[in-house]
């Protein structure tokens, strides 16, 4: 039976006081015949350490690496070794080099120390420490750590970098600069059969999201159907050539056949892509003066117009829009607003804006409340982002349910038969909140029926399956079979 190490992947970069530069992180894994272990990854920057001639008359660096795992002041595990760089014929170009180790560890909490010393320059050394907790079980599902991968190939001869048929060269950083256009990762899932049931189907989804806004990047999303078993390997890859600068999360979800999220794991990384950062074109004063935005000279009006574009902004546009609004500079806002619509209709940006403005007027008329304008509401945002629903079911008088609306779309992007359910827990006014949707990236509430019917019922445990009978309730039927 598989056992799991429960440990959060960490990434550490460190600089010794004589400018040794290296990057280090570790991740947990479990092998049935070996038990739990930590896999450690170390990248040393070649020009930050000393190289000297060796017995082969080649230049080589030598580092002493010591790992200590202590409990109650006593060393439980110990690893000490010399790390040698590749041999080179001259020192004009000093290569970076990578080391990977595996350390078997039993359950428990450890005080971890890592020390690295340059054998050719003892001033170049560094020590880091951390607390590591390992806890594995036969009875529960868990993820392994997530390993970022620089490159991979099929294994022809077993070695330190080999896992499940591949040699995986680790990428020892959570920073992806402009010259790296492939985002590759490796993760293992243990005991999905304990979570779902032996050989039953489940859905494995992995995607990138904006770390701040939590908006899913639909262009970076993948779905796999799997059968539950003791161990599953997830080996994923995205081309991030067109991913702008920002902080993102890699998200891995396990969902059951009803599309409910059972388990989720995230890890953050940073992307730098300056060439894509200016997603909104910039224009000089003459271009702005001759454009349709020249007539917008009232700063409050222009702020309002920019605000109403948020439902259709992408991640970076959202950031730029807020920055320009906060700047309170009319010229900067005019340039941003014009560029926003040029990006959507190069030949006629004014028409694109006017068409959208009519949609905004409509959602303001339909969905505004005493505290929010229509485009700021959930219904207004969904309407502006996805267009008009194909059908709407409206219910205000079910005995135990809050007033609600079910919106049905035949198609949203590459998804079909998608629904939203909005409800009004205040029982007054026109402000409906999005309760649940089956659209990727939208709010997913597993027990939405129970929340909807809390009007006249008490939930002792909202995580329990919905076994209540709701007198006169038709929400589930209408959601599953919209009319």
CA distance 47 to 20: 9
Q: What is the pLDDT of residue 281?
A: 66
62-80 burial, b at 16+ Cβ within 10 Å, e below that, comes to: bbebebbbeeeeeeebeee
Q: How is domain 142-277 classified at the architecture level of CATH?
A: Sandwich (2.60)
Give the helix ranges, DSSP H, for 226-348.
274-277, 285-289, 299-307, 315-327, 330-344
Q: Sketch the domain layout of the chain as residue ranges.
A: 1-138, 142-277, 278-376, 389-480
Residue 403, pLDDT score? 93
Q: To the nearest 10°, the Cα dihedral for 226, 227, 231, 234? A: 0
CB 203 within 8 A of CB 224: yes
Q: Are 270 and 176 in contact (CB under 8 A)?
A: yes
What distance, in Å, lies between the first and last C-alpha atoms of the chain?
48
CA distance 41 to 274: 28
Of 275, 278, 287, 279, the C-alpha closest to 343 is 279
The rounded Cα 197 to chain-centroid distance in angstroms is 27
Determine the pLDDT at residue 456. 65
In 3D space, the residue among 138, 161, 125 whose CA is nearest the CA of residue 39 turns out to be 161
The confidence score (pLDDT) of residue 467 equals 42
Q: Using CB atoms within 10 Å of the CB of residue 451, give its burial: 0 to 12 exposed, 13 to 18 middle, 19+ buried.
A: buried
pLDDT at 1: 30
What is the per-residue pLDDT for 186? Answer: 96
- Spell out the per-residue pLDDT of the chain, length 483, in tens: 333 333 334 445 554 445 788 889 898 888 766 778 899 999 999 999 999 999 999 999 999 999 999 999 999 999 999 999 999 999 998 999 999 999 999 888 999 999 999 999 878 788 888 888 887 777 788 899 999 999 999 999 999 899 888 999 999 989 999 999 999 999 999 989 988 888 899 999 999 988 877 778 888 999 999 999 988 999 999 999 988 888 899 999 999 888 889 999 999 999 988 776 655 666 778 888 999 999 999 999 999 999 999 999 877 787 778 878 888 889 888 988 998 998 888 888 999 999 999 999 999 999 998 889 999 999 999 999 999 999 999 988 887 889 999 999 999 987 899 999 999 988 878 889 999 999 988 888 888 988 898 876 544 444 444 444 554 568 888 888 887
Residue 475: its pLDDT value, please? 85
Q: CATH classification of 1-138 is 3.30.519, yes or no?
A: no
Q: How far is CA 97 from CA 62, 115, 181, in A?
A: 11, 17, 21
The predicted structure's pLDDT at residue 379: 96
């Amino acid at each position: 039976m598989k056992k799991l190490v429960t440990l959060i992947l960490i990434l550490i970069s460190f600089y010794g006081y004589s400018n040794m530069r290296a990057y280090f992180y570790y991740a947990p894994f479990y092998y049935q015949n070996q038990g739990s272990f930590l896999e450690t990854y170390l990248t040393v920057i070649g020009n930050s350490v000393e190289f000297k001639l060796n017995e082969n008359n080649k230049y080589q660096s030598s580092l002493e690496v010591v790992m200590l795992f202590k409990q109650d002041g006593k060393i439980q595990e110990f690893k000490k070794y010399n790390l040698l760089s590749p041999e080179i014929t001259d020192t004009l170009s000093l290569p970076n080099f990578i080391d990977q180790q595996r350390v078997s560890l039993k359950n428990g909490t450890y005080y971890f120390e890592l020390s690295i010393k340059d054998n050719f320059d003892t001033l170049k050394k560094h020590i880091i420490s951390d607390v590591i907790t390992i806890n594995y079980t036969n009875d529960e599902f868990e993820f392994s750590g997530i390993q970022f991968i620089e490159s991979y190939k099929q294994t022809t001869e077993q070695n330190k970098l080999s896992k499940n048929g591949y040699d995986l060269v680790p990428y020892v950083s959570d920073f992806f600069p402009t010259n790296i256009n492939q985002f590759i990762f490796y993760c293992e899932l243990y005991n999905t059969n304990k979570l779902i049931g032996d050989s039953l189907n489940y859905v494995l989804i992995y995607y990138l999201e904006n770390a701040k806004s939590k908006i899913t990047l639909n262009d970076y999303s993948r779905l796999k159907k799997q059968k539950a078993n003791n161990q599953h390997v997830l080996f994923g890859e995205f081309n991030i050539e067109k991913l702008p600068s920002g902080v993102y999360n890699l998200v891995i979800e396990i969902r059951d056949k009803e599309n409910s999220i059972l388990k989720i794991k995230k890890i953050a990384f940073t992307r730098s892509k300056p060439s894509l950062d200016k997603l909104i074109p910039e224009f000089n004063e003459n271009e702005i003066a001759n454009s349709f935005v020249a007539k917008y000279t009232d700063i409050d009006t222009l702020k309002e117009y920019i605000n109403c574009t948020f439902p259709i902004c992408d991640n970076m546009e959202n950031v730029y829009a807020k920055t320009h609004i906060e700047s309170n500079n009319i010229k900067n806002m005019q340039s941003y607003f014009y560029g926003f619509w040029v990006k959507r209709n190069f030949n006629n940006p004014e028409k694109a804006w006017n068409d959208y403005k009519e949609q905004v007027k409509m959602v303001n008329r339909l969905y505004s409340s005493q505290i929010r304008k229509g485009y700021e509401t959930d219904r207004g945002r969904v309407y502006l982002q996805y267009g008009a629903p194909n059908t709407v079911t409206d219910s205000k008088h079910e005995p135990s349910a809050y007033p609600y609306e079910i919106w049905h779309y035949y198609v949203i992007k590459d998804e079909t038969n998608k629904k939203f359910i909005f409800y009004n827990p205040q029982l007054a006014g026109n402000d409906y909140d999005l309760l649940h949707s089956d659209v990727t990236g939208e709010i997913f509430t597993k027990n939405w029926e129970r929340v909807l019917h809390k009007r006249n019922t008490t939930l002792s445990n909202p995580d329990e399956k919905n076994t209540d009978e709701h007198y006169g309730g038709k929400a589930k039927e209408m959601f599953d079979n919209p009319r």
